[in-house]
Structure 1
Amino acid sequence: MTIVDQATGPSVSRIGLRFWSAALAVAVFLVDVLTPLEGAVAVLYVVAILLAARTNRRHDIMVAAAGCAALTIVAYLLSHGLQSIASPALRALVSLAAIAITTVLALQNHTATNRLAAQARLLNLSHDMIFVRNRANVITFWNKAAEQTYGWSADEALGKIADELLQTTYPDRRDVIEAGLLDTGRWEGRVQQRTKGGAAITVDTRWALQHNHLRKPVAVLETHTDVTERVMAHGALVESERRYRRMFDASRIGVAEEDWSDLRKALTALNLDGAGLRDHLSRHPDFFWQVRPLAKITNVNPALQKMVGASSSSVFIANIDKLLDRSDRKFVGALVAFAEGEPFYEGETELIRLDGRKIPVLFTISFPAGPDGDRNVLAFVVDITERRQAQDALLAAQADLAHAARVATLGEISASIAHEVNQPLAAIVTSGEAGLRWLRRDVPDLREVATTINHVVAQGRRAGEVVARIRTFLKKAPPQQDMLQIGDIIEEATSLVARELAKDDVVLTVEIEAGLPPIRGDRIQLQQVLVNLLINAGQAMSGQSGSRVVTLRAGIAQAENLAITVQDSGPGIRPDDLPRLFDPFFTTKNGGMGMGLAISRTTVEAHGGQLSAESIPGSGATFRLTLPFSQQHALP
């Protein structure tokens, strides 16, 4: 049995068939009535019935049969009447019998055709591509799914050779597959085909061999299922699994695959939330080790095997209890995190190698979400032995560096002490020499001697205060903060440097605005800053011909800041030296230590102020010091 045509003709074809069937019946009737032919002309009515049967309508067959039978009887009556029953009557009966037999056969064929058409319509409803090819591999049926998937309509596909149309690629030789089909009547496999647009698709195909009534093969029914996306998804899954396996095996991080589904069941049976589990574990510390075997290790990568000295994954799994320190509570936290639904848990612990040596490790246990998440728990382990060793080495290096820093700091402090104490000591020496000169006179001037001794005592006390401030600094004691009038500090500082400046013929001019608010700070430290700036200004002009003038001004820079400037008439500062002027140990003076300005800036900044310098070569240098007023006395 073969599949019938996929569609009946259009209605106009049925109308034409009906017309020609009726015309032929009328022609046979006229020939039978009007001609003297004695043959069974009425038998030709069979052709009219067959034409009507081509409409594939049962009603048309019945109408044609009834009409032809009626015409046969009418023609007999008109030609022969009912006077005698002879051979014409027998011929009429033969014609009627032929009409009846033809009608029955036509109706049976119509029923069979309708049954096959119904089957074809069912095949068109299938989501699979279905087509029929004869023994010559020519397509005789092509369903709707085949049209949609392959792109060829039924009219385009019918009559084409299937393998040529679809460019089918088989997994085996075509003749071998055909021989198996003839032997068993069926074949299944996966083939590659191409659509009308040239796209390659993969299909699962099932062939069924059709036989005629003599059991001879006449056609093949092919059912195809498009599995292109499934094959691509499977290929992607296989490739992903292959990549994961490569990473799993090649990773230098230890990885263990674990199944915690039985552990989940055990925790569910306890009916405890995270807090309840913590309490349960604190009251039953051995509970973890009782349920730990329920967390089954399914695989271990080579890096983790090597980390603990195991020769294989099975050896690692068999000795897992020996690798964990029972006194370590880190894994208890992992159990609680698992019960609370956390996505992961990480910590630091130690593993015990099979040779007994302990190794420090960082670990992360990942708990994937989803129905199969408990079966795919991953534990990542990183050996941090080298990091621990590096940390120990770093700590040792830091200790050495701290020692070196202390030595360097001691050197800087020594330089600072020498610099700060040098000025009062120099003043003491100068005053002492002056006193000796007054005593060596023929008539000693005791008043001058007393004055110089007072200077010696004052400078000695100042040196003691400087040393006391440095000791306070070394002990990290809070700096002394007093309410200070800047005019008093300036007066004390200028008196300390008066002899030094006079010795170098330097004229000091002081300009202080009236009514300046007080500042808060350390009197000795700020006094020392001004002394440093004034001494530096005087030394900058030593050896210079012409006038030597240092101008000290104090005034309001802004509503909340006090500004003090020290300006000299010396050669100024070279542009290359200006950026490094406040760096420790940088100096432009012969025999200078390079600590004065560095200490001065640090002192000013400790008081919340700023110290800067500006200079135009040949026009002297100006140092600008700003200090904040005490908040309760700041100007509005």
Structure 2
Amino acid sequence: MTNLDRPTGSSMSRAGLRFWSAALAFAVFMVDVLTPLEGAVAVLYVIAILLAARTNRRNDIIVAATGCVVLTITAYLLSHDLHEIASPALRALVSLAAIGITTLLVLQNHAATTHLAAQARLLNLSHDMIFVRDRSGVITFWNKTAEQTYGWSPDEALGQLADKLLRTSYSDRREAIEASLLDTGRWEGRVEQRTKAGAALTVDARWALQHDHLGKPVGVLETHTDVTDRVAAHSALVQSEQRYRRMFDASRIGVVEEDWSGLRTALDSLQTGGADLRDYLARNPDFVRHARRLARITDVNPALQKMAGASGSAAFIENADKLLGENDRSFLDALVAFANGEPFHEGETQLVSFDGRKVPVLFTITFPPEPDGDQNVLVFVVDITERKQAQDALLAAQAELAHAARVATLGELSASIAHEVNQPLAAIVTSGEAGLRWLRRDVPDLKEVATTIGHVVAQGRRASEIVTRIRTFLKKAAPQQDLLQIGEVIEEATALVARELAKDDVALIVEPQHGLPPVRGDRIQLQQVLVNLLINASQAMSGRPGSRVITLRAGTVDSETLAITVQDSGPGIPPDDMARLFDPFFTTKDGGMGMGLAICRTTVEAHGGRLSVVSTPGSGATFHLTLPYSQEHAPP
């Protein structure tokens, strides 16, 4: 505030001014009437008018002036005769002229003061900090917003150097700014200032040069807008953008920015006829292909450029269709997730690089909220080529380990295999010798000879089948998916371990359910699973007193699954070992590889089944193996 918009005083001071103005006018009247003074005593009425003007009320000025005029005329009439018009009348006219001129000047001053006060009140209503300084920088006006923002009251600010009070910092030299102000009459810029409490402010400053009636610069009106929060927000936004750009460019994960707004429009105009969107899209692949072209790429980070074999992001700034193969199904799922308003979608697919390579990738698509989210869809892509290669290597290693396990199992069962092969060979020798005896008779018995030859052929075929089975067992070939009768697989597996079980005095009870439907799988691998389970059961009971019994059962679980159980009468499995029993390289046997059960579970799961175990310490263990029926021969 300045003196312009301050009230002159309280109501009591105004009343006092009015009283003293009236008293002075009356005193001048009495002096003019009662004393013989010849001078223009009435001129002293001017003082009364000036006192009335101090009330800052226009009516008071007019009343005082009118009263003084009346008193002047009355004093003249009382002191002089109207017939004598000479110097007294001239003095009266001079007094009246003085009163009139003073009144006019006071009224003009009052009007100017009122106008300035109104302007000051308007400046106080502004939300900007406004102050006026003279050419030397001294503050002459200080509005309310400046008081509230900077913390100094008008009494504290007025008369102070503005730059020193506010500790203003300029982006350019102060002399250059002042020269520009004098040259153009205006200056705008951003400055740093300090409040009374020491807080830093960033303000947008606008200066206007004020001139007097001769055009000489007399002051500067400074209007300041506090943009501290706006600058901080902009700075935070810039930092966030820079941080995002660094992450975008430096990330080893491929990132794609896409605009799906056109795709949103296409989905909104889609007429599905009440059908489920996924079913509709599956029946309309043309729309899906069209939608792929609507997903427009706006930016691609260097990691994805390298992944796709591109030299820059310009090659992508069209649409995502180039990156997806012709038979890609992942985009349909992403389209459904986008239409359903899901925040993100994950999947696996293959990118087609610019040189034709197919790159297996995992991807996550984020869908920001509407309305602007459709223009900022982010796709994060991870190259899993090495992982795929590692999986292939793992599968190959598992095949190698399975082969090694079969060979190791064959070594343990060599005595049983020799026994199996020796049986048909011995039968062949016996039948051959009998045939020779029948031929050496004086009268050869050709009928018996024919019978013995038939026995030789049958036993030879049996020996050939045994050898073929062993060779297949040893052969490192890809798994065969054949229709298998599980009863035959069980019979062949039990035959392989029969001698091993007999050597350990283990009784094997086989209880297959009759009429089991076939399963589809690899005969040798399933044989290996059963052989491993039977050998493990036999070894678990090794050295245990009493009867040693293994029970193998096969039957149906439901209309889609059959189950095989291998139960032993051994000590069971310790609870601490149950969680790790199927882990690779975990074994409880001296000299064991720890791969048998791990390979068994992998083999069963590769056939679409499951392998689990239950055990009660001291009551033996039971392995449960489930396999799905072959679909083309499933039971009704």
Question: TM-score band, normalised by the shorter chain?
Answer: 0.5 to 0.7
Relative to 1, partners in 2 of residues 1:194 and 1:310: Cα closer, same or farther, differing over 3 Å? same
* Partner residue in 2 for 1:62: 62
CA separation in 1, counterparts of 2:241 and 2:274?
34
> Aligned letter for 2:6?
A
CA separation in 1, counterparts of 2:114 and 2:412?
113
Relative to 1, partners in 2 of residues 1:584 and 1:265: Cα closer, same or farther, differing over 3 Å? closer
> Aligned letter for 1:353?
S
* Partner residue in 2 for 1:91: 91
* Partner residue in 2 for 1:467: 506
* Partner residue in 1 for 2:384: 384
CA separation in 2, counterparts of 1:326 and 1:261?
23
* Partner residue in 2 for 1:257: 257
CA separation in 2, counterparts of 1:359 and 1:195?
61
CA separation in 2, counterparts of 1:583 and 1:257?
54
Relative to 1, partners in 2 of residues 1:464 and 1:294: Cα closer, same or farther, differing over 3 Å? closer
Deviation string for 1:250-301 (max 9, x for gaps)? 0001111111112212222225599554344233212222233322111111
Relative to 1, partners in 2 of residues 1:116 and 1:271: Cα closer, same or farther, differing over 3 Å? farther
Q: Which moved more, 1:71-80 or 1:330-339?
A: 71-80
CA separation in 2, counterparts of 1:340 and 1:173?
59
CA separation in 1, counterparts of 2:124 and 2:413?
100
* Partner residue in 1 for 2:9: 10
* Partner residue in 2 for 1:596: none
> Aligned letter for 1:468?
A
* Partner residue in 1 for 2:173: 173
CA separation in 1, counterparts of 2:177 and 2:246?
38
What is the TM-score when the length of structure 1 is the normalising length?
0.65
* Partner residue in 2 for 1:153: 153
CA separation in 1, counterparts of 2:361 and 2:387?
10
Check conservation: 2:344, 2:364, Cα contact below 8 A.
yes
> Aligned letter for 2:251?
S
> Aligned letter for 1:364?
T
Relative to 1, partners in 2 of residues 1:474 and 1:7: Cα closer, same or farther, differing over 3 Å? same
* Partner residue in 2 for 1:222: 222
Check conservation: 1:140, 1:159, Cα contact below 8 A.
yes
Relative to 1, partners in 2 of residues 1:151 and 1:279: Cα closer, same or farther, differing over 3 Å? same
Shift of 1:102: 1.7
Shift of 1:30: 3.4
Deviation string for 1:301-346 (max 9, x for gaps)? 1111111110010023368544321211211221222122111122
Q: Percent identity?
A: 70
Relative to 1, partners in 2 of residues 1:29 and 1:50: Cα closer, same or farther, differing over 3 Å? same
Check conservation: 1:202, 1:231, Cα contact below 8 A.
yes
* Partner residue in 2 for 1:211: 211
- For the residue of structure 2 that corresponds to 1:63, the secondary structure is helix
Q: How does 1:442-521 map to 2 (within 5 A)?
A: 466-469=505-508, 474=531
Shift of 1:354: 1.5
- For the residue of structure 2 that corresponds to 1:270, the secondary structure is coil
Check conservation: 1:344, 1:367, Cα contact below 8 A.
yes
CA separation in 2, counterparts of 1:274 and 1:188?
62
> Aligned letter for 1:73?
I
Q: How does 1:227-306 map to 2 (within 5 A)?
A: 227-272=227-272, 276-306=276-306
CA separation in 2, counterparts of 1:129 and 1:168?
14
Shift of 1:32: 2.4
Shift of 1:468: 2.8
Deviation string for 1:568-603 (max 9, x for gaps)? xxxxxxxxxxxxxx97559xxxxxxxxxxxxxxxxx
* Partner residue in 2 for 1:449: none
Shift of 1:464: 8.4
CA separation in 2, counterparts of 1:346 and 1:93?
104
CA separation in 2, counterparts of 1:329 and 1:400?
34
* Partner residue in 2 for 1:113: 113
Relative to 1, partners in 2 of residues 1:270 and 1:493: Cα closer, same or farther, differing over 3 Å? closer
CA separation in 2, counterparts of 1:410 and 1:320?
55
Shift of 1:368: 0.4
Shift of 1:402: 4.2
- For the residue of structure 2 that corresponds to 1:317, the secondary structure is coil
Relative to 1, partners in 2 of residues 1:272 and 1:375: Cα closer, same or farther, differing over 3 Å? farther
CA separation in 2, counterparts of 1:236 and 1:407?
68
* Partner residue in 2 for 1:126: 126
CA separation in 2, counterparts of 1:381 and 1:525?
51
Check conservation: 1:192, 1:201, Cα contact below 8 A.
yes
Relative to 1, partners in 2 of residues 1:392 and 1:274: Cα closer, same or farther, differing over 3 Å? farther
* Partner residue in 1 for 2:350: 350
Asked whether 1:189 is paired with 2:189, we answer yes
* Partner residue in 1 for 2:364: 364
* Partner residue in 2 for 1:135: 135
Check conservation: 2:73, 2:92, Cα contact below 8 A.
yes
Check conservation: 1:273, 1:340, Cα contact below 8 A.
no
Shift of 1:408: 6.8
- For the residue of structure 2 that corresponds to 1:469, the secondary structure is strand
CA separation in 2, counterparts of 1:273 and 1:337?
19
CA separation in 1, counterparts of 2:119 and 2:100?
29
Q: How does 1:535-550 map to 2 (within 5 A)?
A: none
Shift of 1:400: 3.7
- For the residue of structure 2 that corresponds to 1:169, the secondary structure is coil
For the pair shown, which has the larger CA radius of gyration, 1 or 2?
Answer: 1
Check conservation: 1:353, 1:359, Cα contact below 8 A.
yes
Relative to 1, partners in 2 of residues 1:525 and 1:193: Cα closer, same or farther, differing over 3 Å? closer
CA separation in 1, counterparts of 2:323 and 2:66?
100
- For the residue of structure 2 that corresponds to 1:90, the secondary structure is helix
Relative to 1, partners in 2 of residues 1:126 and 1:272: Cα closer, same or farther, differing over 3 Å? farther
Relative to 1, partners in 2 of residues 1:152 and 1:409: Cα closer, same or farther, differing over 3 Å? farther
Q: How does 1:11-90 map to 2 (within 5 A)?
A: 11=10, 12-90=12-90
* Partner residue in 1 for 2:624: none
Shift of 1:110: 1.6
Shift of 1:167: 0.8
Relative to 1, partners in 2 of residues 1:102 and 1:305: Cα closer, same or farther, differing over 3 Å? same
Check conservation: 2:185, 2:209, Cα contact below 8 A.
yes
Check conservation: 1:273, 1:339, Cα contact below 8 A.
no
CA separation in 2, counterparts of 1:20 and 1:259?
83
CA separation in 2, counterparts of 1:31 and 1:286?
114
- For the residue of structure 2 that corresponds to 1:5, the secondary structure is helix
Deviation string for 1:517-575 (max 9, x for gaps)? xxxxxxx976x98xxxxxxxxxxxxxxxxxxxxxxxxxxxxxxxxxxxxxxxxxxxxxx
Check conservation: 2:202, 2:226, Cα contact below 8 A.
yes
- For the residue of structure 1 that corresponds to 2:316, the secondary structure is helix
CA separation in 2, counterparts of 1:261 and 1:607?
56
* Partner residue in 1 for 2:104: 104
* Partner residue in 2 for 1:399: 399
Relative to 1, partners in 2 of residues 1:607 and 1:285: Cα closer, same or farther, differing over 3 Å? closer
- For the residue of structure 1 that corresponds to 2:37, the secondary structure is coil
- For the residue of structure 1 that corresponds to 2:101, the secondary structure is helix
Check conservation: 1:251, 1:303, Cα contact below 8 A.
yes
Shift of 1:385: 0.4
> Aligned letter for 1:160?
Q
CA separation in 2, counterparts of 1:475 and 1:245?
57
Q: Which moved more, 1:358-367 or 1:232-241?
A: 358-367
* Partner residue in 1 for 2:484: none
CA separation in 1, counterparts of 2:388 and 2:568?
47
CA separation in 1, counterparts of 2:245 and 2:274?
34
Q: Which moved more, 1:231-240 or 1:103-112?
A: 103-112
Asked whether 1:330 is paired with 2:330, we answer yes
Structure 1: which 5+ residue stretches go unaligned?
A: 416-459, 481-491, 495-523, 530-581, 587-605, 612-624, 628-636
Structure 2: which 5+ residue stretches go unaligned?
A: 416-498, 512-529, 538-544, 548-566, 572-586, 592-612, 622-636
> Aligned letter for 1:36?
P
Shift of 1:67: 2.1
Shift of 1:186: 1.6
